[in-house]
Amino acid sequence: MTITSKFPEILPYLPSVLRQPLSRVPAADIADIRELRLRLGKSLQIICGNTAFAITTQGMRVSPEQSDLMITRPMLDSCFQSICCHSVHSWQSAIRQGFITIAGGCRVGLCGSAVIQNHQLDTIRNISGMNFRIASERIGCAEQLFQRVKNDLLQGGLLIAGAPASGKTTILRDLARLLGNRHRLCILDERGEIAAVQNGMPQFSLGVQTDVFDGYPKAEGVEIAVRVMSPEYLICDEIGDETEIAQLLQSTHTGVKIIATAHAGSLNELRQRPQIKRMLQSGIFRCAVMLGTGELCGQVLSVESLRGAVG
């Protein structure tokens, strides 16, 4: 497996007081970094698997309570302006969702004080925490899974489930590469995480027959993709609301097979979510894959057939 971390691509978004010590992180450690957490008044923390550690101003690795590199209000404000390209109002729709996707497909989660308008979240002020989730390309990480499900994929779709930070998007990306080298494939990349398109060019290897619909809302994107690109397979992440599900169900009547992800720790948890249960009962997915977390992040815990499994 060939691993390329997008960790270096987050460094320009950080103020120099953070960027300089982080640039001293050994290259051998970079591939294992999953998150970078900034919390106001606390140490800068690096997450590798289930382990959190901090670094000093000199770039030395220490425990979080031993670090002399503490996150201040100016640091957070500088980061926030950078990830918004110094135009916060242009990113309000993303801010309302709680995250912004930056270069390389890395996602920055935001924590702060909610501003409510008309009983709905309007924006976030006084940012108090940021979580840089580091995207990575792991060429070959889906090879074993592909061999296990390729016959099922000839008959129907695939649902990839797991808890947050279980590697769903990374697995999905490598599956796109494998399928896109064999079949016509469309990716609906609403959040910009799967393909990380920059100037029209995906920053990951996604297959020679793959078309990317970058930033399209899923409901509209599904309809357009099916109509104009006649895909055999359609990939999207984090299926959710009724409008999206209705459009995905409609697309299957055209013969398109769906590969998607969902948050859950087990197939039983999936069944408890009304929207997902509806899709399972429709037969849109041929099988479901459960991924592990922590030290088992990205590893397939089980592959379960859905033929007749949901009723």
What confidence tens digit (pLDDT) does each residue in 130-148 have?
999 999 899 999 999 999 9
Give the percent of the chain with pLDDT over 70: 98
The answer to whether the predicted template modeling score (pTM) of the entire model surpasses 0.85 is no
Check residue 60 and give its pLDDT. Answer: 86
DSSP secondary structure string for all residues of 65-117:
GG-S-B--HHHHHHHHHHHTTT-GGGGHHHHHHTEEE-GGG-EEEEEEEEEEE
Check residue 309 and give its pLDDT. Answer: 43
Selected residue with higher pLDDT from 124 and 270: 124
What is the mean pLDDT of the segment spanning 182-211? 92
Check residue 30 and give its pLDDT. Answer: 87
On the question of pLDDT at 209 being above 50, the answer is yes
Assigned token pair, 39 = 């919390």
Q: Spell 168-181 as b/e; 16+ CB within 10 A means b.
A: bbbbbbbbbbbbbe
Mean pLDDT is lowest, of 27-41, 69-83, 186-200, 249-263, for 249-263
What is the mean pLDDT of the segment spanning 88-99? 89
pLDDT tens by residue, 97-109: 899 999 888 999 9
> Checking DSSP bridges between strand 185-189 and strand 233-236, what pairing results, if any?
parallel
- DSSP code for 294: G
Identify each DSSP E strand in the chain by its residue range: 2-5, 35-39, 45-48, 51-55, 61-62, 99-101, 107-117, 120-133, 136-139, 157-162, 185-189, 210-214, 233-236, 257-263, 285-291, 300-305
pLDDT tens by residue, 218-236: 888 888 999 999 999 999 9
Q: pLDDT band for position 1 (50/70/90)?
A: confident
Check residue 84 and give its pLDDT. Answer: 93
Check residue 50 and give its pLDDT. Answer: 76
Residue 287, beta-bridge partner list: 158, 305
Under 8 Å between Cβ of 157 and 257 = yes
Of 266, 279, 287, residue with least CA distance to 157: 287
Check residue 308 and give its pLDDT. Answer: 46
On the question of pLDDT at 127 being above 70, the answer is yes
Assigned token pair, 26 = 């050994």
Assigned token pair, 162 = 């797991």
